[in-house]
Structure 1
Amino acid sequence: MTSQRSVALDRTHLAYLYQQFAPKILDYVYKHVSSFQDAEDILIDVFVAALKSSSFTSLAEKEQLAWLWRVARNKIVDFYRRAQRAPRLPLGNIDEQLVKDTFPTPEQISIQQEEGDNLALLIERFSPLQQQVLYLRFSENLRCAQIAARVGKREGSIRSLLSRALNPLRRHYHEQEKGGTYFGPTQ
């Protein structure tokens, strides 16, 4: 019975401290963090820590106040440490262009399909071995040594085949950037 009464008195005293000092601590925290909601969260964490602390009630009122201010400062430091490890971006700051880019327009879809068709036409001009090597390298993510073992060639030959296949593809995309269309030589 006595422990329940002392817990009730402690909570009443903590409520008194909250009413007296929470506005000042909240102002202090808000000056050091990016948003009012974060400041409120930190303030709540400070008083929850006081509620959970076994030594808080044994302190004199001035010591309790100093303890609250120290915990508030430490919570602010913790807030910034967490922010450095996992930066957060408030939803209000998301660039509209970023949102627009996640959903391609019909025009963008059409352009992508056209580019894919042009690429397929270019690859069709390659030898069957070059086509197979490109497929194994980029679709199956195999390394040159693995491709060489699969097709029965030396690793150096595979590197040469890849290089000869990728050069026309690069030229094709450079031409695309300039506005022209390059279909490369027949291989």
Structure 2
Amino acid sequence: MDRHHPDVNEELIDLLTHTALDERKAFARLYQLAAPQLLGILLRHVRQRALAEELLQDCFIEIWDHAPDYRPERGMPLAWMGRIARNKAIDALWQSPNEASSAPPVLFDPGAGDEPLAVLSERSETSALSDCLRHLPAAQRQSVVLAYFYGQSHREIAGILGSPSGTVKGWITRAVAHLRECVGV
């Protein structure tokens, strides 16, 4: 599917509109068109096909539930659904950190250049970090994960989360401060 083609976007908008009216045939067609792209997003994040497929089902449940909230004037339909997929993947990574990666995370203080704050190498420290991340507001948690685990810039994160770059920078700064205090670094 060429997601930039106007006809495809119009069809997806139409399908979301009909899905919002609880039309199952429209939802089935929406799944058929969007599932491959959303699965690709999920696989890039979680790197496990079984988990990505499970999350894909969760994404479409959320799409079904929130189809009435979609507004075409606020963005392309695949971008809206892609945000749902990315959020599901990020949440899954924090709910099961051992499944996502065996490598410990590295945190950097955005206010101090590229100096590492700490390299968390002990399993208990990684678990403590996961616990601390769970206590962050969703936007801060997603911002810090996208920045430090996926190497996204503030501008890229702003595009993913649909927020201004300055807001994202503030979220990351507050999240890092919280994490430093929480894990005792």
Find the structure with the greater CA-based Rg: 1
Normalising by structure 1, report the TM-score.
0.37
Q: TM-score, normalised by structure 2?
A: 0.37
Structure holding more helix per residue:
1
